[in-house]
């Protein structure tokens, strides 16, 4: 198993059809002790319990630096280490440029970008003490192509910011043997997109994807597993596109 006895923290991982939950299942199947962070304590605990024994669910608002630190401290108290962090928590809003107000910008950038910074800051001291760690950041194809199908320009900006932050962290933390990489999903069928994708729209979107289908959460979970494990031991500062060829560059 690729993550035997590794302690892996995943933010925003309680949603039933989300990328975080799929990644949690994948990591647990490969021997990890998974820590699910989400806004609601009950949902986080339930999601962790569904994985079986040895996993934790902790309430955490990633936009609150103190909450991130508390989640990291609780993880260390209960499990003794933090080997992997997946910065998965994110929100999107389907707004046009002139519809984006201050409250929209703040909400989207706070969760997607500030949350990535705060949670990374919370785990880095332990990873430095251990002399090892892997941080996986969730960006988006919309950061690369200048907009997606459901996310507004403020979402693209936030996810582009994640790429810049990730690369800067990789450069700074390499000497500590902490690897930092990103995944850029294309259009993935999750709870966020589920209510908006009609059968007709799916067919139309798939015409523009060389592999001929929309992605599923496990497609992203597989990439996260690769980046979390020693299979990617000499990879840092990288961006892995998981979009079926929607964007080839």
Helix extents (H) in 81-194: 102-109, 115-130, 141-145, 153-173, 191-194
Helix extents (H) in 52-152: 65-79, 102-109, 115-130, 141-145
Cβ proximity of 114 and 56 under 8 Å: no
Q: Is 118 a catalytic residue?
A: no
List 105, 118, 155, 234, catalytic entry:
155
Region of 12 on the Ramachandran plot (φ > 0 left; ψ -120 to 50 alpha; else beta): left
Q: Pseudo-torsion of CA 37, 42, 47, 49, nearest 10°?
A: 110
Rg (CA), the chain: 17
What amino acid positions are annotated as catalytic residues?
155
């Amino acid at each position: 198993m690729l993550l035997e006895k590794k302690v892996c923290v995943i933010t925003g991982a309680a949603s039933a059809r989300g990328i975080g939950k799929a990644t949690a299942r994948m990591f647990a199947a490969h021997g990890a002790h998974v820590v699910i962070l989400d806004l609601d304590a009950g949902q986080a605990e339930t999601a962790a319990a569904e994985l079986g024994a040895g996993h934790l669910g902790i309430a955490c608002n990633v936009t609150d630096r103190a909450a991130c630190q508390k989640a990291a401290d609780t993880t260390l108290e209960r499990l003794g280490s933090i080997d992997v962090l997946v910065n998965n928590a994110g929100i999107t809003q389907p707004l046009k440029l002139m519809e984006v107000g201050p409250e929209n910008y703040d909400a989207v950038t706070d969760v997607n970008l500030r949350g990535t910074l705060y949670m990374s800051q919370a785990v880095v001291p332990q990873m430095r003490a251990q002399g090892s760690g892997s941080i996986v950041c969730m960006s988006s194809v919309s950061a690369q192509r200048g907009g997606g199908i459901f996310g507004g320009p403020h979402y693209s900006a936030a996810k582009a910011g994640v790429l810049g932050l990730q690369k800067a962290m990789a450069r700074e933390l390499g000497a500590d043997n902490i690897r930092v990489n990103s995944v850029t999903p294309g259009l993935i069928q999750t709870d966020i997109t589920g209510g908006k994708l009609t059968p007709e729209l799916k067919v139309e979107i798939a015409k523009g994807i060389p592999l001929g289908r929309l992605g599923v959460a496990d497609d992203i979970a597989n990439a996260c597993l690769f980046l979390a494990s020693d299979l990617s031991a000499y990879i840092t500062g990288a961006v892995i596109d998981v979009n079926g060829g929607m964007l080839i560059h």
